[in-house]
Amino acid sequence: MDIIKGSRTTLPRRPDSFHARLLTWRARNVSQTQLVHVAAVVLGLLAGMSAVLLKNGVHVVQEIVHADPLGLSFDLYFFLFPVLGVGLTALLMAGTGGNPGEAIPITLHAISKRRGFIPKRYLYAWYISSFITAGFGGSVGLEGPGVGTGAAIGSNAGRMFRLDFRNRILLLGCASAGVLAAIFNAPIAGIIFTIEIFSLDLTLASLVPLLLASVAGALTSHFMHANEFILHVTSVEPFRVADVPWYVILGVLSALVSVYFTRSFFFFESLFRRLRSGVGKWAAGGLGLGLMVWLLPPLYGEGFQTVNLLLNDQAGSVLSGGLPALLAGRGGAFLIGGLLVLLFTKIVASGLTFGAGGVGGVFAPSLFTGCVLGFVYATAVGLLDMAQLDTTNFALVGMAGLMAGVLHAPLTAIFMIAEITGGYELFLPLMIVSAISFATSRHLLPFSIYTKKLAQRGELITHDKDKAVLSQLTIRDIVERDFSPVHADMTMGTLVNVVSTSNRNLFPVLGKDGCLIGVLTLDDIRHVMFDRALYNLILVGELMDPPPASVDVSENMSTVVQRFQETGLWNIPVVEDGRYIGFVSKSKLFSIYRSKLLEFS
């Protein structure tokens, strides 16, 4: 490949192509900072537009369903369409590379282990599959797939312009911020989400592009929605200091429900993993989902219609179909009972949707659950004559509590609800509940619903820069293979010949099957290597020491660093299934660490 002088831009293989001419012109006329700023605006517009079109498309599909196009009993749609939706999604994705998976965890893995490169398939896979799943009534959200699609747009834009890792991740974050800003009309929350979830460093260099992208996404939403947004709050009561104890209790309840939500999610994931047949998964999950939505219509789709009804104190309209209708009009206790059923079954419906092959996110289900929790809590306190709490305020704050507990994103929760309400009347209770929910749930579950599996594999990137750099490395990246192996039954004379041609003073001792059984250093043989009379009398096995430590090639770099600290060694042997591969040295690790650190700075 040709490299443009004075620039890090790498030309494509065909120097006469339009792409190559564009990169050449850019390198000569546009600085990288200017490029990132312009790209941030464009990505914010594109990502915001894609998110709005996704939301509107799903809304259109659901309006068609509600119009009873087939002349069937309306309740049948609640059963048939979710089953059909997850089935269509599974079939379509099977023919295009398989189920794309959960958008945000895959994006986090791309940042951590793929240098921010997201395959082009994800430009459309999450978008189409979530559209079908949620449009036909799958009980999932669209925010995660929208953010994932935006991240894929940003990642591939960075690849197209041959940007380095830091700026590629920045564009990925810009597009993601644009998506959330467009969906919720919350530009500040969009920025904070990318910082909290994607662990972007907030510096002057990153702040301006994030601001530009988020504003562009929000403006796109204004233009396409004409000030009609996904959540509608008509009024918010002023904060009362006397309500602080009730908000504290709500924070604890939010944490407990968040733990239930997260554990239920992973329970259903592990349950469906045991079913190897795709048809079996669809049958079990799809039919279970259809039955649940038929019995409990508020579980249909994302659930924002139910959220808006509760935010505007119209709980009776929520319980107007299916089993909840039996409880409507029977008093407050029956109302609370019906809503509690929805609270605990929303994640069950989401788990069945995912298990059956549907694609979506958990952002909307967590908001749904938090809204119901806050409303039920405020209503129950009022029924018990303990205090008169505003149900809208507590429903909003409950949404923030679940976001903080499930997603481990307390700042995103605070600013999103504050921006949705159009002011800071609830800022203090939002801070109280989000902080308590986040701290308590993190104590019980150290990792969020997005990061648990990544953390278990040691692939989670964090705001800890040392850990973030180490997460970018693998043992295969730094293993050194130029050590000369010797065997236990080798004579001293043969060993001396190996030593004379080696540039190393450390020698792995291998068994007949290639397994590491010991190590040998020059210090171990210095006292005998010049005595030729011993060359045929002493074997390597008599001189070697057992390996003081080793690492498997599949282990993460944090384990390697810990092993160096525990042993004080300068070189540690690397094995794969017990077979010797090479050594990892402290000097090479530090050298590569320093070069990687520069990319993060």
The H or E element containing residue 585 is: strand 579-585
Q: What is the pLDDT of residues 311-367, one digit of tens each?
A: 988 887 887 666 666 655 556 777 888 889 999 999 999 999 998 888 999 999 999
Mean pLDDT in residue range 13-36 = 79
The H or E element containing residue 551 is: strand 551-552
Lowest-pLDDT choice from 13-22, 334-343, 423-432: 13-22
What is the structure's pLDDT at 109?
A: 85
**Residue 300 pLDDT > 80, yes or no?**
yes
Q: Return the sign of the alpha-carbon dihedral for residues 104, 110, 115, 117.
A: negative
Higher pLDDT among residues 256 and 301, named by residue: 256
Residue of 423, 411, 465 whose CA lies nearest to 190: 411
What is the structure's pLDDT at 330?
A: 59
d(CA 169, CA 101) in angstroms, rounded, equals 21
- Residues sharing a CB contact under 8 Å with residue 429, sequence separation 6 or more, in sequence order: 239, 243, 244, 247, 393, 397
What is the structure's pLDDT at 6?
A: 34
Structural domains of the chain in order of their starting residue, each with its CATH number: 18-225 (1.10.3080.10), 241-462 (1.10.3080.10), 469-600 (3.10.580.10)
Mean pLDDT in residue range 575-597 = 83
What is the structure's pLDDT at 445?
A: 92
DSSP state of 446: S
What is the token pair recorded at 585?
């040295």
- Count of CA atoms in the C-beta half-sphere (13 A) of 286: 23
- Cα separations in angstroms, 335 against 290, 329, 331: 24, 8, 6
What is the structure's pLDDT at 578?
A: 82
Lowest-pLDDT choice from 243-257, 272-286, 399-413: 272-286
Does the pTM exceed 0.85? no
- Cα separations in angstroms, 248 against 236, 435, 446: 19, 10, 21
Mean pLDDT in residue range 153-179 = 91
Highest mean pLDDT among 113-127, 228-242, 365-379, 444-458 belongs to: 365-379
Residue of 408, 413, 410 whose CA lies nearest to 451: 408
Report the percent of the chain where pLDDT is more than 70. Answer: 89
What is the structure's pLDDT at 467?
A: 64
What is the structure's pLDDT at 221?
A: 83
Q: What is the pLDDT of residues 188-222, one digit of tens each?
A: 999 999 998 887 777 777 899 999 999 999 998 88
Report the 10 Å Cβ neighbour count for 590.
10
What is the structure's pLDDT at 1?
A: 31
**How far, in whole angstroms, is CA 72 from its chain's centroid?**
40
**Residue 523 pLDDT > 80, yes or no?**
yes
Mean pLDDT in residue range 144-173 = 91
d(CA 242, CA 134) in angstroms, rounded, equals 41
